[in-house]
Amino acid sequence: MILDPLPLTPDHDIPAPVLTELTALYASNREFHALSGDFPDPGDVRPEQVATALADELAVPGAEVLLARSEGRLVGIVITLAQHPDPVDPDPWIGLLMVDATAHRKGYGRQLATLVEDRFRTAGRTAVRLAVLDNNPEALAFWTALGYDTIAYGRDRELDRPCTVLQKQLTDPSDTGPEEPA
């Protein structure tokens, strides 16, 4: 699997062929969008809606949209935040991880989560957080199976929906680095 940043034109638009792929990926996840309420009609996700949603994500400082491809096919998208808008929160966040519904249960979600965790680990980050909507038990089961632990309950910042905040340690907190020679 290859993970690359979302390509943008010089005008900061999504190239038409990529937007077509992204729209198909978003549209394939009708059940998720019905739960999240992110699109007015989950059965009719349109390119301009996807473009607007991604532009809104990229407007947040430190946000990154990454596309996952397997054998040239777009199989997933992940949106990350280098830092949560709350300055008290020290960890990066996974804002969205979505796999094309036609490719569910093939290990892409797990692979994509691992690649994102590795990116954060390489950048020296020690933990990562995310929020799962409380009406999405399948997502909660997915993340807890990957080693994420519940650390809080709250409401999401955008639409005030109830959610569970999860965190995964990326390094051993007792690891203080290499030992000094005696």
Segment 67-102, tens digit of pLDDT? 999 999 999 999 999 988 777 888 999 999 999 999
Alpha-carbon span 47 to 29, nearest angstrom: 14
Looking at 3.40.630.30, 3.60.140.10, 3.40.50.1100, 3.30.70.270, the CATH number of the domain 2-169 comes to 3.40.630.30
**Band of residue 182 on the pLDDT scale cut at 50, 70, 90:** very low
Residues in the chain: 182
Strands (E), the chain: 2-5, 63-70, 73-81, 93-99, 127-133, 149-155, 162-169
pLDDT in tens, 142-176: 999 999 999 999 998 788 899 999 999 998 655 55
Q: Are strands 93-99 and 127-133 parallel, antiparallel or unpaired?
A: parallel
Tens-place pLDDT, residues 25-54? 999 999 999 889 889 899 999 999 999 999
Cβ neighbourhood burial of 3 (10 Å; 0-12, 13-18, 19+): middle
Q: For the residues 115-136, what does the mean pLDDT come to? A: 96
Minimum mean pLDDT among 9-13, 24-28, 128-132, 146-150: which range? 9-13
Return the domain boundaries, the chain: 2-169
| pTM attached to this predicted model | 0.90
pLDDT exceeds cutoff 90 at 137: yes
Mean residue pLDDT of the chain comes to 92
Q: CA-to-CA distance for 95 and 38, rounded, in angstroms?
A: 13
- The answer to whether residue 180 scores a pLDDT higher than 80 is no
CA dihedral 38, 32, 156, 109 (to 10 degrees): -120
